[in-house]
Amino acid sequence: MDIKDLSKVQKDREIKLQKLRSEGFNFPNDFEKKYQISHLIEKFGALSKESLEKKNESACNAGRIVLKREMGKVVFMTIEDSSGRIQAYFSKNNLDKKLEEIKDLDLGDIIGIEGVLFRTKTDELTIEVKDFKLLTKSLNPMPEKHAGLTDIETIYRQRYVDLMSNKESRDIFIKRNKIVQSIRKNLEEAGFLEVETPMMHPIPGGANAKPFKTHHNALDKELFLRIAPELYLKRLLVGGFDRVFEINRNFRNEGISTIHNPEFTMLEFYEAYGTLEKTSQFVQKLVQDSIAAVNDSLLITYEDKELDFSKDFEIKSLKDLVQEQIEMSLDTEEQIFKAAKHKGMKIKKEWGWGKVLLELFEEHVEKELWNPIFVKDYPYEVSPLSRRKDDDQDYTDRIELFIAGREFANFFCELNDPTDQEERFKQQVKQKDSGDEEAMLYDDDYINALKHGMPPATGVGLGIDRLVMLATNKSSIRDVVLFPTLK
């Protein structure tokens, strides 16, 4: 890039870099950083001024310059790495002619420093620098130190700038990691095996969603990015694994919103011989432990409203919740269609009563479910992979977890009857042919797997991104995804 096209700040920095290059600077990679800054703070932060003087403790650290103050023959800087910040003190007494080089350093530059620890008159733990080395020259200016990065577009499009200037943003992704660790720990302690399944599928399946298409040139074959790993994980149950899980990336070619990103992270796990009651208790524990991993209490605030995770989650049937909300009976197909028309719902001709009942739930009930609640008994029409209830064949042994008006988990007793599954796939194909882009396709290999015999099982899908949003009090998925998809 031509220097004349740059801003004044960038021009000045480019000129400095050109001068450094002429003196032999070449972005060195030979500085050995011995400790994270947090190590120094944890080990020596509580020592008094006198104790530090006696210890004469050496420090060899590196980080980005985030603050700088020049005071005649001394310079104070704040150096930051991923673990924290510490003050560095540069003086002419220690560095002589190098002090001018130090004054030429800019905010954003990355330096290595060696020195000894001491406390200033204001009692701040500080490194008295005996030697330093410029490691990386920053050519673009950092955001203004007090306001930080405030432009939302820049925050999401240039996450690296957001992270380098905003500790809160870094903390969110540290918390995200803690939540994932908590989930993985619970699953492994419960005897689940972590596995990896394909991300490119010959047939999209495992969920009702519109897939992304891709093409394999060598095979001259159309493939689909994974919308869910479900059918592959259940093949593993057929193969003999009783408990499996995958923390997976899924891709759905749908709209973008504050709660939807085209690629997102899900937990899916399957347990042979599991029951809905046992699975519900385990899902509750996963959620509660995730909240506790990054909060001091199970009573948290989300979007300025209190959420209580300290009690057992409520359980109610979908139909009962809709009846309570709209104050109409829904015991028959006729009553369900009548209620929908009464509520002004536009009904598509291919919809059965189960789809209509689900639409009533989503429109009139879902957003009202604030504290954690398990919603059970979904119509079989909208549950193509779920086992029908023994006492009511119109409904399935399926549960969804709702919190703060959103779905967080979906789980059910798996359908392991190959004849029933085959018929439901055929129904899905008819829906696809009628224009439903989210309907599943017929997967003959999965049917073949079921014919070998899949044990009775429960399976769970849990949204990691939404769980992180909840635990960190963020209203947009873009705040908890490092590099969200943008227009």
Q: At what angle do helices 333-342 and 353-364 cross, to 10 degrees?
A: 40
E strand or H helix at 63? strand 58-71
Two tokens at 349?
A: 């001709």
pLDDT score of 230 more than 90? yes
Same domain, 243 and 388: yes
Q: Is residue 122 part of a domain?
A: yes
Q: Is residue 438 part of a domain?
A: yes
Same domain, 10 and 104: yes
Residue type for position 11: K
Q: Is residue 346 part of a domain?
A: no
Same domain, 393 and 440: yes
pLDDT score of 1 more than 60? no
Residue 205 pLDDT: 86
Among the listed residues 457, 447, 397, the one whose alpha carbon sits nearest the alpha carbon of residue 421: 447
CATH classification at residue 415: 3.30.930.10
Same domain, 136 and 198: no
Average pLDDT of span 422-429: 88
Residue type for position 161: V
Q: Is residue 327 part of a domain?
A: no
Average pLDDT of span 105-118: 96
Residue 437 pLDDT: 74
Q: Is residue 352 part of a domain?
A: no
The single residue listed with the structure tokens 């493939």 is: 223
Q: Is residue 159 part of a domain?
A: no
CATH classification at residue 90: 2.40.50.140
Same domain, 102 and 192: no
Q: Where in the sequence is the domain holding 68, given as residue range(s)?
A: 3-142
- The domain boundary, picked from 142, 175, 192, lies at 142
Same domain, 138 and 193: no
pLDDT score of 363 more than 90? yes
Lowest mean pLDDT among 211-215, 315-319, 381-385: 381-385
Average pLDDT of span 292-297: 98
Residue type for position 436: D
Same domain, 53 and 113: yes
Same domain, 81 and 180: no
Mean pLDDT of the chain: 93
Residue 418 pLDDT: 95
Q: Is residue 186 part of a domain?
A: yes
DSSP code string of 171-196: HHHHHHHHHHHHHHHHHHHTTPEE--
Average pLDDT of span 59-69: 96
- The domain boundary, picked from 108, 142, 176, lies at 142
DSSP code string of 436-466: -TTSPPP-HHHHHHHHT----EEEEEEEHHH
pLDDT in tens, 236-263: 999 999 999 999 999 999 888 888 999 9
Phi, psi of 252 (to 5 degrees): -135, 125
Report d(CA 360, CA 345) in Å as an integer: 8
Please state, for a pLDDT cut of 70, what percent of the chain lies above it.
98
Same domain, 176 and 109: no
Two tokens at 45?
A: 């932060």
Same domain, 137 and 185: no
pLDDT in tens, 13-59: 999 999 999 999 999 999 999 989 999 999 999 999 999 999 899 99
Phi, psi of 251 (to 5 degrees): -135, 125
Q: Is residue 303 part of a domain?
A: yes
Residue 2 pLDDT: 58
Among the listed residues 331, 461, 328, 319, the one whose alpha carbon sits nearest the alpha carbon of residue 376: 319
Total of domains in the chain: 2
Average pLDDT of span 389-398: 95
- Which residues contact residue 81 at a Cβ distance below 8 angstroms, ignoring those fewer than 6 apart? 36, 37, 61, 62, 63, 64
- The domain boundary, picked from 111, 142, 173, lies at 142
pLDDT score of 173 more than 60? yes
pLDDT band at 12 (very low <50, low <70, confident <90, very high): very high
pLDDT in tens, 143-160: 876 556 777 888 899 999
Same domain, 414 and 278: yes
DSSP code string of 210-260: PPPEEEETTTTEEEEE-S-SHHHHHHHHHHT-SEEEEEEEEE-----BTTB
Same domain, 178 and 93: no
